[in-house]
Structure 1
């Protein structure tokens, strides 16, 4: 185990982009084995090689910048997925509306009948049935 630690000194290591590339490799290899398409297999192996190149790289600043660009690209996707998961978990107890003025998402409890909903952002109010 010491030889591995000594070898990794000064190298970049595993980050979120490397993990995503490894997962993509796994998905591509599974698809390749199901479909039998060699081009997908080659693409998976290329992604795997690129991932290991990043992990073993000594150019830490460049790899860090690549990871930051990946995380900036991934952030809105992650936020949208988290919002959808939250709405799905609360769909039995709450209703979700959009403010017609500012497009702010509004969450109100279900089963209250016809209520006036005031947007906390722009202070406009709408009347909706819950």
Structure 2
């Protein structure tokens, strides 16, 4: 059975980051559809699943790669911002975060140091903040 599946998938694109995102989105919309019971959500779930299978079984690898590159260019800044928020949330008890008023750089300072003078490493502006 495994050999038949490998033979079938030979020359096909398979699953990439965009395909994985489509599958996760399909699962989330499907779970929402269970509670809300809407024809629109059901149709969207089916459409996402069909698109996932279409992309996975496609033989046009160049076009699928271009679609994936566009998705990665779109998703990377969002993912970086989410990772920053996650890091800030994890360190909320030990550090405090400030934004430089001049260059909008995020600055991290340990908590419990009282009033400190923070020098921005990017623009060298001094900020006086309480930690």
In structure 1, the partner of 2:81 is 80
CA RMSD of aligned residues (A): 1.1
C-alpha distance in 1, partners of 2:37/2:103? Answer: 51
In structure 2, the partner of 1:41 is 42
The alignment of Structure 1 onto Structure 2 pairs a total of residues equal to 130
TM-score for the superposition, normalised by structure 1 = 0.94
C-alpha distance in 1, partners of 2:101/2:29? Answer: 43
C-alpha distance in 2, partners of 1:67/1:19? Answer: 11
In structure 1, the partner of 2:53 is 52
Deviates more, 1:24-33 or 1:12-21: 24-33
**What do the CA deviations read for 1:54-104 (whole angstroms, capped 9, x no partner)?**
000000010001011111111111111101011111111111111122111
Tell me how far 1:10 sits from its aligned partner. 0.6
Q: Match of 1:65, SS?
A: helix
Tell me how far 1:37 sits from its aligned partner. 1.5
Deviates more, 1:34-43 or 1:73-82: 34-43
4+ residue segments displaced more than 6 Å: none
Structure 2, gaps ≥5 residues long? none
C-alpha distance in 2, partners of 1:128/1:7? Answer: 63
C-alpha distance in 1, partners of 2:111/2:82? Answer: 23
C-alpha distance in 2, partners of 1:48/1:40? Answer: 12
Matched, 1:63 2:86: no
Structure 1, gaps ≥5 residues long? none
